[in-house]
């Protein structure tokens, strides 16, 4: 089983435990966490969240099995600079339905990397995992993330009002969904773009 893919600009690799340092540095930034429902995090908080995902994921990969959770780090191809992370996590009681997510370090915003990350999780979900549905959500204030999902074909499905308390403020949550048969997704083109490394 492959562990890393590239589109020629970014490399998406199953996250290793020692990469949590990079993720923790990113999620400790107030600016990065401004429009998400968590953080800024202390390094130990980031570790406590990710370890239950990464340890069984890495154990599955070592034994040649497909993991239940899929957490990737994103790095630039040319110099391995850490850009962010993305993930597909199974929805409980939703066989074939995965929640997608992506976070980018603020120094890499507005470079098209968010779009590339969203396209990668779409491709990975539908091609590699044979997902029947991908689900996403974002705070109403996170206009950039909502725009990315919509450009990638996700449909805005609703709003959960007063859903999260983030930064001591009550926040509304936008819900998005994507089915492979919705159209507008060129999985053949994506497959030619995301190549194993």
Q: What is the CATH number of the domain that holds 138?
A: 3.40.630.30
**What does each C-alpha distance from 67 to 64, 81, 178 come to in angstroms?**
9, 26, 22
Contact of 135 with 176, CB cutoff 8 Å: yes
Spans in the chain with pLDDT lower than 50: none
Q: What angle do CA 58, 60, 188 make, to 5 degrees?
A: 95
Backbone angles phi, psi at 7, to 5 degrees: -105, 15
For 14, list phi and psi in degrees, rounded to 5. -55, 130
> pLDDT, tens digit, for every residue of 136-170?
999 999 999 999 999 999 999 999 999 988 777 89
Q: Does residue 122 have a cis bond before it (omega within 30 degrees)? A: no
Q: Distance between CA atoms of 142 and 139, rounded to whole angstroms?
A: 5
Q: Answer for the pair 12, 3: CB distance below 8 angstroms, yes or no.
A: no
Gap between the Cα atoms of 167 and 187, Å rounded: 38
Number of structural domains found in the chain: 1
pLDDT value, residue 124: 98
Q: Which candidate, 149, 145, 115, 146, places its Cα nearest to that of 134?
A: 149
CB contact set of 153 (below 8 Å; sequence gap of 6+):
122, 178, 182, 183, 184, 185
Q: Which domain holds residue 37?
A: 4-196
In this prediction, residue 35 carries a pLDDT of: 85
Residue 29: strand pairing partners = none
pLDDT value at position 110?
Answer: 95
* Close Cβ partners of 195 (under 8 Å, ≥ 6 residues apart): 5, 6, 7
């Amino acid at each position: 089983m492959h562990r890393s893919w590239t589109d020629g600009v970014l490399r998406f690799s199953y996250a290793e435990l020692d990469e949590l340092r990079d993720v923790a540095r990113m999620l400790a930034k107030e600016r990065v966490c401004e429009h998400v429902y968590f953080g800024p995090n202390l390094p130990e908080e980031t570790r406590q969240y990710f370890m239950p995902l990464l340890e069984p994921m890495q154990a599955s990969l070592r034994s040649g099995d497909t993991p239940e959770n899929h957490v990737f780090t994103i790095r630039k191809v040319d110099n391995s600079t850490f850009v962010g992370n993305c993930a597909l996590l199974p929805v409980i009681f939703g066989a074939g339905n995965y929640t997608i997510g992506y976070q980018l370090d603020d120094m890499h915003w507005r470079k098209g990397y968010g779009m590339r990350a969203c396209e990668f999780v779409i491709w990975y979900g539908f091609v590699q995992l044979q997902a029947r549905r991908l689900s996403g959500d974002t705070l109403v204030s996170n206009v950039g993330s909502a725009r990315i999902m919509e450009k990638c074909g996700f449909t805005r499905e609703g709003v959960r009002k007063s859903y999260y308390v983030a930064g001591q403020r009550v926040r509304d949550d936008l819900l998005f969904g994507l089915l492979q048969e919705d159209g507008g997704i060129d999985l053949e083109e994506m497959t030619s773009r995301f190549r194993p490394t």
